[in-house]
Amino acid sequence: MVSKEKLKKQVEKTANALKGAGKKISSNKKMNSGKERNKDSGKGRNTVQPHRHCRMCHIPIDIKREPPICVEQKCEDDWKKNKKNEKMVRIAFFIFAAVFLGPLIFKGILAF
């Protein structure tokens, strides 16, 4: 069984995490342009302004923003980590192709 102290600490930890998430959400309201409506376009109909979403945390960002991530440091770090991983996977693929297809091609050339 879980002791009361451990349970109390876990509840406090969860409550603090939720408070932090609430602050993050409220600070992102300025950036949350997806909720705003453009009343001038679409012949009087309300339409969503053109935007895209952060690839890491999915909050709305400007459509022209490159790379497609928000201003959060965590998102920037995750973006760099993913790009590095993609590069390593691409290199590994070409090495794999060279190791396994190279001898087959070479053997085919020698057969002529």
Task: Give pLDDT tens digits for 78-106.
Answer: 999 999 999 999 999 999 999 999 888 88
Query: Which pLDDT tens digit goes with each residue over 7-62?
Result: 888 888 888 877 776 555 545 544 444 444 444 555 556 788 899 999 999 999 99
Q: Residue 30 has what pLDDT?
A: 45
Tell me if 88 is assigned to some domain.
Answer: yes
Interatomic CA distance for residues 33 and 56, integer angstroms: 17
Tell me if 52 is assigned to some domain.
Answer: yes
Q: Residue 34 has what pLDDT?
A: 46
Q: Residue 96 has what pLDDT?
A: 93
**Nearest Cα to Cα of residue 83 among 65, 58, 56:** 56
For the chain, the helix, strand and coil percentages under 3-state DSSP, each to the nearest 5:
60, 5, 35
Tell me if 47 is assigned to some domain.
Answer: yes
pTM: 0.51
| pLDDT exceeds cutoff 60 at 75 | yes
**Nearest Cα to Cα of residue 84 among 73, 76, 95:** 76
How many domains is the chain built from? Answer: 1
Residues sharing a CB contact under 8 Å with residue 67, sequence separation 6 or more, in sequence order: 55, 79
Query: Within 10 A of 83 (CB to CB), how many other CB atoms are there?
Result: 11
Tell me if 36 is assigned to some domain.
Answer: yes
Tell me if 22 is assigned to some domain.
Answer: no
Tell me if 17 is assigned to some domain.
Answer: no
- Domain interval for residue 66: 31-111
Tell me if 1 is assigned to some domain.
Answer: no
